[in-house]
Structure 1
Amino acid sequence: DSVWYGDQHLESMTESGFKDEAGRSTTGMSGASGVWSGLPVNVVYIPHEENKNLPPMQNKPRIQFMDGVDQTGAIIGYGGDMEEDPAYAALKVSNNILVIFGRCPHLCCIPGWQLIENNFTADNWEPGGLDSGGNKLFCICHSSRYDPTVVEKNTNRNRASGTVFQYFGIKRTGGPTPVGMPLIPFTVNNDVIEVVDFKAEGIEAMLDWYTYCD
């Protein structure tokens, strides 16, 4: 159930494919956008295991866990909690990959990985979750930017019902979007990146995270 854009169109999403592409980059990162199990997604490969014990430095990306700050400036929660809380075991960092829901909380456009060339999408990386540096997910409609290497806990709401929910996702770094985008749990089976069974894993409540454009 994979529909990739570009030269991977209609092919399965594989861990090895991301690794191969990452090997051709300055930062060791790679990414792709598409429709996966019916959801618009961005999938990003980050050399977390290779770099996580290094001091923060340019072009040595790793997954950074930070506090999520909502539109009012309130701190909602710490991204690293998903690594410790058994309720979110399906989201624990694995295989150097993050799968990210691909709808912008601003006006529900679809941000992408290196869809255009600019300073935000260039093949470089700065630590700290700042708006400087490249390798951002970028919305070409209204220029919202997201750092796919920063995981935080934040809050959003369903546009139709007004229901407010908390989620784990990546950080907004700039532009009109109010917050970042949520993560999607996955598993790797014989190199193929697959969606988990939300019901079997007891995480059906996470499906609400992907309703803010409903």
Structure 2
Amino acid sequence: MTVTFDALTIDWFGLATLRLEGQTGAVVYIDPGPERYGVLDGFEPRDGDLVLVSHDHHYDPDSIRRVARDDALIVVHESIRANDLDGIDEDPDDLAFEVERVGADESFAIGPLDLYTTPAYNDPDGPHTDEPGEPYHPEGRGCGFGVTIDGVTAFWPGDTDVLAVHDDLPVDCFFPPIGGTFTMDRREAAALAARLEPDLVLPVHYDTFAAIEVDSDAFVVDVARRNVPVVLDE
């Protein structure tokens, strides 16, 4: 299923992998892969002008090569290092693309596209921690991305809890993670959507594997009751 919203054509492939295409032809991929989840199986368009990678769990060189044009810009969080990852032996800086590292509170223009980043992490005192009590996503290890394409600002907050910084963001199209366990859950995401008041909500980061299975229909009902337009790309 492909979702069309204003100037954007949107495809969600599973986990956090999104493809955004503007009316003027700019193509942006968010968090392609990783390959072990099979979200890009059989899909190798190599048409992406810009590829955004929010944190190390979503960094996969082979998936980037599936979607990126030869002259693409790859924007990755500054913390991503191959030696921190099992089965990955290429640092972002070793890829055969132009690579830009970013922090979690930046804004800049990339050609006709405007981009901002936000912090993305789990509260160590919150529910999204592992067995020893460590947050799945520590502060400083990832970011969210807002990208404006043809006048439409799309926002993927990354693998994160709901944070105070989210409440003041310009967002037209919102891609919240709703699977819980490693991120905000569907109820927290619905409440955030109501505060942001975007023109469209398309949930992601759920049902790709057992730990993030969720009742997506219940999320839709919850958001719709708050008078926020919502759609599933399933």
Could you state the TM-score of these two structures normalised by the residue count of structure 1? 0.30
Structure with greater contact order relative to length (CA < 8 Å, sep ≥ 6)? 1
Structure with the largest fraction of helix: 2
Could you state the TM-score of these two structures normalised by the residue count of structure 2? 0.28
